[in-house]
Amino acid sequence: MKPNNAVTPVQLAVTIISTIIGVSILGIPNFVTEKVGTAAPLSSVLGVLMGGFGILAITLLGRRFPKQTLIGYNQEILGKKIGNFFSIIVILFFLTLMGVETRHFAEVIVGSLLPNTPISIAIFFMIFLCASVSFLSVSTFVYIHFFYLPFIIIPLLIILLPSIQNVTYYHLLPITGHDVSIRMLFSGGMNVTQAVSNFMVIAMLIPFMKNPQKCVKSGLWGYAIGSLFFIITITIALAVFGAEEMKHLLWPTLGLGKMVRIPGDVLSRVDAILLIAWIFAVFTTLFSYYFLYVRGVAELMRSSRYRLIAFLGFPFVFMVASLPQDIYEVYYYVLEVTLVGLIITIIYPVLLFILSIIRRQRGITE
Amino acid sequence: MSPIFKKSPTNKEGERFVPNSSIIQKAQTVYFTPNIKYNFELFTSILQKDADFLSKKFKVFGETPAVLICLKSLVDMEKIERDIIKQLQNKKHPDNSHTPITTYIMEDVLYYTAVETVKNLAAGIESLLAGKALVFIEGIEQAMALDVYTQEKRSIEQSETERVVRGPRDGFIESLQTNVALLRYRLPVPEFRVEQREVGTRTKTKIAICYLDDIVNPELLEEVRSRIDKIVIDRILDAGYIEHYIQDDVTSPFPQVQNSERPDRVVGNLLEGRVSILVDGSPFALIVPAIFVQFYQTSEDYNERWIITSAIRIIRLAALVFSLTFSSFYVTVLSFHPELIPATFVVAASSGRQGVPFPVVIEVLIMEIAMEILREATVRMPQQVGGALSIVGVLVVGQAAVQAGFVSPITVVIMALSTIGSFATPSYNVATAFRVLRFILIILAGTFGLLGLAVGIMLVLNHMLSLRSFGVPYMAPFSPGNYQELKDSFMRFPIQWTKERPKHLQPQDKKRVDNRKYNKRSGGEGNNET
């Protein structure tokens, strides 16, 4: 009889999708367009392809070491001390990223929903939500992702599909942008890569799969579908607003939501649905970061006191989230942190994978 | 391989100890003698104060003195007189026989099936308490225990908690034997098992674990057995006591064990691969494992047309979601985000609120509490007073409160909708869980608006997603998803299309209908008929 609680390939893909779709989906069209103008769709495709190396490396590593998590094969490939050092860096990075993105989330909530509420309330709620489930089992982690995905994707489609009737096609032209150098194209694409390359948590899930050999295919599918939503969102937002108008919109996706009308006038603002869906999306994303932290630290310390670890991470994330002064500083931090993140989420796994090939190491397979 | 149906290993197991009755313990070493007077006094010293203790002296075969003792509250007096005493007095012991007198009596005189001999006082008392009559005969140092147990029970009626329009009308009663008979009647197959256990150190309640041998997963069955064997308690007064001890998460507001008064429902679940636990003295059967979707399904769903049933199930689910979120959504919209709903609605709602002295959240909370008080009062009141109560409820809480400007009319409407929503749920226990959680959501929504509401709903959802009932994910088949099981979840597809048993139960026999067997049999029968 097969165990009930093993992670299936579909669940792995779903986890990647709901992790990728997160805080940044609201603002990403603005970021990219600001850099490359009408070349945004092209440049985001480039960015997604760059991120593809990361997911490929992570899943290939998972296939090579099917019984070990990131922490485990770090030790195996780099040696115990250096491996642990890098593991700690990865964990710290994701905690910091979580802090910054929580703040980003709180700024949007306070800016668009609750102007009179202190920002720390929104920060507290989000971290509390993540921490309150992060000490549970891997299967619960996957179930939560699986359950929320429809509530994230369907509202997103409700916003995106009707927006197509507002599209002005010349907003997309020229596809290569006005005087955009290759370097600029890549740097714009990098923004997208920064947004979609936060899938590292799957390195903690692959050993719990029934058949870890299948992780590469489902990982790539999950990444492709998740990042497709980014490309579509960027393209439609650009086609609706145009490059010039977009620069004045802090959250273009929310702007799309404001333009949609539902017949029957049940809700006067459809963007509220989008905001709730977005809260779900942010939760699943940050939950992935926090889960990586809890599981990672537990494995490093060889303990199973997940509750305690989850509790101890709380103040750190809260502190990081409280650091920036205003929304512009938040954006500055987000871009800086995720830029450093590219080294950790893409270059590092690729190097690790190459190193494991050179040293001819393989994990224990049954 | 990890254990499937087990609890998480962090749960501590209580140490097991069984306190024995001190009387029984002392009586273990007291043996009967050939002297019936001495034997008789052993019992009177313990039971003489009991009003239902009965003794009758008579002569076996008209010569040997004997005495019969029993507790008359537990036995069928007519049976004793007609089948025991009359037989023993009238028959004659053939003088030439070499068989001992007890063997002769047991084999030739009494045509009883349930006769046994007891030798010591402890066993004697226990069989008296189990509804047996003891017969002592002069010169014999053992007693015959004859089972003449009878019990008062009510007749089989339709269950009050799970009424149906179309479907069988019989419901369980308190007697375990009758309940098992109701199940046997529907399952005349040799694979149907009824394992008996005794729980409760003082009440000695009989419970029966029922399952189908070739369907149920053996690991699940073993887990059910071990959880029941671990129960240490002095009393089991209802199936609810068992439920408390075998559930996975004690701190959760959600029921993780299903209960039902309907034999057809229990049989349906047994056929899916679940295990049912019947408790003597309780008309409720427990069914494990339970998942969330079961709590808004009824047994009637399978009797009516599938399209209509599917629609009704969706309405029930919507009603449940309504009862949880509707009033808190109203609070958050009126107090934080009036721009979310069309302006005409806002005008209507806020003009109705003119003169209401409280903020919306307080108003809604007061009304919800009043509603809960009304509901509780209706349940507890004798039926004769019920009419007066509904008048008070309608007039005072509804109309008068609105006219006095105490609450706005729209609040009353919202309240009524959310309350009716919770009444539309077939399972009382899951409806109450949502009703209690509703209060937390109202407070969250009233303080932090849409964010508070979203966070509250997510906390509830996350909790439900983390729940397990005997290792089965509570939110199956939504998460982890399973297409086959979705056919019988918030929808009900035609029974012909749902050929597989739920996968999360991992039954031994995965298919409800084996196609090959089915075709062969129906083909053969078809030929005979034509």
Pick among A116, A137, A147, A305 to test the B interface (most B CBs inside 10 A): A147
Rounded to 5°, angle at Cα B444 from B439 and B449 = 130
Helix, strand, or coil here: B196? strand
What is the Cα B132 distance to its own chain's centre?
29
| Of residues B340, B342, B458, nearest to A129 (C-beta) | B458
Q: Which residues pair with B492 in a beta bridge?
A: B488
Q: Quick check: B450 and A275 CB within 8 A?
A: yes
Q: Which residues of chain B does A269 touch, with a Cβ-Cβ cutoff of 8 Å?
A: 339-340
Contacts of B481 (CB under 8 A, 6+ apart): A10, A146
A152 and A281 Cβ atoms separated by less than 8 Å: yes
Tokens, residue B173: 């009663």
Name residue B452's amino acid: G
- Closest to B1 (Cβ–Cβ): which among A3, A8, A272? A3
Rounded percentage of chain A residues whose pLDDT exceeds 70: 96
Give pLDDT, residue A1: 35
Report CB contact under 8 Å: A276, B461.
no
Q: How far apart are CA B106 and CA B115, in angstroms?
A: 7
B142 and B68 in one domain?
yes
Collect all residues of chain A within an 8 Å Cβ-Cβ radius of residue B471. Answer: 4
| Mean pLDDT within A121-135 | 93
**Helices A327-342, A182-196: crossing angle, 10 deg rounding:** 100
Both B270 and B368 in one domain: the answer is no
Residue B96: pLDDT band (50, 70, 90) is: low
pLDDT band at B314 (very low <50, low <70, confident <90, very high): very high
* Euclidean distance between CA atoms A338 and A27, whole angstroms: 14
Clarify whether residues B382 and B462 are in a common domain.
yes
Q: What is the pLDDT of residue B524?
A: 42
Please check whether residues B115 and B188 belong to one and the same domain. Answer: no
At residue B125, the 3 state secondary structure works out as helix
- Complex ipTM tops 0.85: yes
User: Which has more confidence, B154 or B222?
Assistant: B222
Same domain, B285 and B312: no
Question: Of A136, A266, A41, which Cα lies nearest the Cα of B464?
Answer: A136
pLDDT tens, residue by residue, A157-182: 988 888 888 888 888 877 777 777 88
- With vertex at residue B115, the alpha carbon angle to CA B110 and CA B120, rounded to the nearest 5 degrees, is 125
Using pLDDT thresholds of 50, 70 and 90, give the confidence band for residue B39: confident
Cross-chain residue pair A269–B340, CB shorter than 8 Å: yes
Q: Does B480 touch chain A (CB under 8 A)?
A: yes
Selected residue of A105, A268, A271, A306 to mutate for chain B interface (largest B Cβ count, 10 A): A268
CB neighbour class for A112 (10 Å; exposed up to 12, middle 13-18, buried from 19): middle
Lowest mean pLDDT among A268-272, B127-131, B309-313: A268-272
- Of B260, B290, B320, the position where a domain reaches its end is B290
- Nearest Cα neighbor of A128 from B48, B375, B444 is B444
pLDDT tens, residue by residue, B343-364: 888 888 888 888 888 889 999 9
Indicate yes or no: CB of A133 within 8 angstroms of CB of B462.
yes
B471/A142 touch (CB, cutoff 8 Å), yes or no? no
Average pLDDT rounded to a whole number, residues B244-267: 92
- If asked whether residues B188 and B234 sit together in one domain, one would say yes
Rounded Cα gap, residues A274 and A158, in angstroms? 9
Task: Establish if B328 touches chain A: CB-CB under 8 angstroms.
Answer: no
Residue B99: inside a domain, yes or no? yes
CA distance B469 to chain A (A): 13
Q: How confident is the model at residue A135 (pLDDT cuts 50, 70, 90)?
A: very high
B329 touches A: beta carbon within 8 Å: no
Query: What residues of B are in contact with residue A1 (Cβ under 8 Å)?
Result: 1, 4, 217, 219, 506
pLDDT in tens, B267-279: 999 999 999 999 9
Q: Any chain A CB within 8 A of the CB of B467?
A: no
CA distance A33 to chain B (A): 30
Enclosing H/E stretch for A180: none
| Alpha helices by DSSP H, A65-118 | 70-78, 80-112
Question: Residue B60 and residue A340: Cα distance in Å, rounded?
Answer: 101
* A9-358 CATH choice from 1.20.1740.10, 1.10.8.870, 2.40.50.1070, 3.40.50.920: 1.20.1740.10
Q: Domain ranges for chain A, please list them.
A: 9-358
Task: Tell me the average pLDDT across B450-454.
Answer: 91
Q: Residue A143 and residue B465: Cβ atoms within 8 Å? A: yes
B287 HSE (CA, 13 A, CB side): 23
Interface of B with A in 506-525 (CB under 8 A): 506
Instruction: Note whether A340 contacts B: Cβ–Cβ < 8 A.
Output: no
Find chain B residues with C-beta within 8 A of A265's C-beta. Answer: 342
Nearest chain B alpha carbon to A11: B480
> Mutate which of B216, B462, B504 to test chain A, going by most A C-beta atoms within 10 A?
B462
Per-residue pLDDT for A16 more than 90?
A: yes
Whether B281 and B399 map to the same domain: the answer is no
Confidence grade of residue B517 (pLDDT, cut at 50, 70, 90)? low
Residues in B closer than 8 angstroms to A137, CB to CB, are 8
Q: Which residue has the higher pLDDT, A212 or B13?
A: A212
Closest to A267 (Cβ–Cβ): which among B1, B340, B343?
A: B340
Closest chain B CA to residue A125: B455
Judge whether B91 lies within some domain.
Answer: yes
A114 → closest Cβ in B451, B461, B481: B451
B336 belongs to a structural domain: yes
Distance from the Cα of A272 to chain B's closest Cα (Å) equals 7
Look at residue B9 in the predicted model and tell me its pLDDT: 47
Q: Which residue has the higher pLDDT, B110 or A121?
A: A121
Give the range of the structural domain holding residue B435, as residue numbers without chain letter. 306-472
Let me know: does A246 contact A29? Beta carbons within 8 Å. Answer: yes
Cα A327 from Cα A33, distance rounded (Å): 19
Cα-trace Rg, chain A: 20
Q: Which residues of B214-240 are buried (b: 16+ CB within 10 A; e: fewer)?
A: ebbbebbbebbeebbeebeeeebebbe
Among candidates B341, B452, B472 on the partner chain, residue whose Cβ is nearest the Cβ of A267: B341
Q: Which residues on adjacent β-strands are paired with residue B212?
A: B192
Distance from CA of B431 to the nearest CA of A (A): 22
Outline where DSSP puts E strands in B240-367: 258-260, 275-279, 285-288
Cross-chain Cβ contact A5/B4 below 8 Å: yes
Q: Could you tell me if B192 and B314 lie in one domain?
A: no
CB contact under 8 A, A143 and B451: no
Q: Which pLDDT does position B182 carry in this prediction? A: 93
Model confidence at B14, pLDDT cuts 50, 70, 90, reads: very low
Give the mean model confidence (pLDDT) for residues B63-90.
Answer: 85
A114–B336: do the CB atoms touch at under 8 Å? yes
How does residue B525 score in pLDDT terms, banded at 50, 70 and 90?
Answer: very low
How does residue A232 score in pLDDT terms, banded at 50, 70 and 90?
very high
Whether B458 contacts chain A with CB within 8 A: yes
B193 vs B422: CA distance, rounded Å = 37
Q: In A164-210, which residue ranges form alpha helices assigned H by DSSP?
A: 182-196, 202-205
When pLDDT is cut at 50, 70 and 90, the band that residue B112 belongs to is low
Kindly indicate the confidence band of residue B126, based on its pLDDT and cuts at 50, 70 and 90.
confident
Q: What is the DSSP letter of B295?
A: G
Of B217, B340, B459, Cβ closest to residue A129: B459
Q: What is the mean pLDDT of chain A?
A: 88
Using CA atoms, how far apart are residues A226 and A235, in angstroms rounded to an integer? 15
How would you class A242 by CB atoms within 10 Å of its CB: exposed for 0-12, middle for 13-18, buried for 19 or more? Answer: middle
- Is B341's CB within 8 Å of A133's CB? no
pLDDT score for A267: 65
B383-B174-B264 Cα angle (round to 5): 95
Test A5 with B448 for CB contact under 8 angstroms: no
B224: its two tokens: 């059910």
pLDDT for the residue numbered B4: 65
More confident: B219 or B93: B219
Strand order in the sheet with B143-147: B53-60, B64-71, B132-137, B143-147, B115-118
The tally of domains found in chain B comes to 3
For the sheet with B275-279, list strands across it.
B192-199, B205-212, B275-279, B285-288, B258-260
Mean pLDDT of A67-74: 88
Q: Is the pLDDT of residue B519 over 60?
A: no
Chain A environment of B449 (Cβ under 8 Å): 113-114, 117
B443 and B374 belong to one structural domain: yes
| Residues sharing a CB contact under 8 Å with residue B146, sequence separation 6 or more, in sequence order | B84, B110, B112, B114, B115, B132, B133, B134, B135
Interface of A with B in 123-152 (CB under 8 A): 125, 128-129, 132-133, 136-137, 139-140, 142-144, 146-148
Of the residues B454, B472, B490, which one is the last residue of a structural domain? B472
Give the Cβ contact number of residue B275 at 10 Å: 25
Question: Across all residues in chain B, what is the average pLDDT?
Answer: 84
Give A84's contacts (C-beta < 8 A, 6+ positions apart).
A71, A74, A75, A300
Give A139-155 as a DSSP string.
HHHHHHHHHHHHHHHHH
| Chain A contact present for B479, CB below 8 A | yes
Residue B515 placed within a domain: no
Q: Respond yes or no on whether the N-terminal peptide bond of residue B289 is cis (omega within 30° of 0).
A: yes
Any A CB within 8 A of B2 CB: yes
DSSP 3-state of B278: strand
Residue of B nearest to A278 (CA): B454
Residues with Cβ < 8 Å from A333, sequence gap 6 or more? A100, A103, A323, A324
Is there a single domain that holds both residue B332 and residue B412?
yes
What number is the average pLDDT over the span B83-106? Answer: 75
Q: Does B130 touch chain A (CB under 8 A)?
A: no
**Identity of residue B502:** P
- Gap between the Cα atoms of A288 and A18, Å rounded: 9
Distance CA(A315)–CA(A297), nearest Å, equals 16
Q: Is residue B522 part of a domain?
A: no
Any chain B CB within 8 A of the CB of A1?
A: yes
> What integer pLDDT is reported at residue B476 of this predicted model?
83
| Residues above pLDDT 70, as percent of chain B | 92
Give contacts of B 330-349 with A, CB under 8 A: 336-337, 339-343
What is the three-class DSSP state of A232?
Answer: helix
- Bridge partners of B60, per DSSP, are B64
Torsion on CA atoms B348, B353, B355, B359, rounded to nearest 10: -150
pLDDT at B522: 46
Render pLDDT for A85-101 as a digit per residue (tens, 0 to 9).
999 999 999 999 999 99
- B251 shares its domain with B335: no
Q: Residue type for B85, please?
A: I
- Cβ atoms within 10 Å of A110's Cβ, excluding its own: 20
Question: Is residue B408 domain-shared with residue B459, that is, in the same domain?
Answer: yes
Owner of token pair 């860096």: A89
Q: What is the pLDDT of residue B11?
A: 41
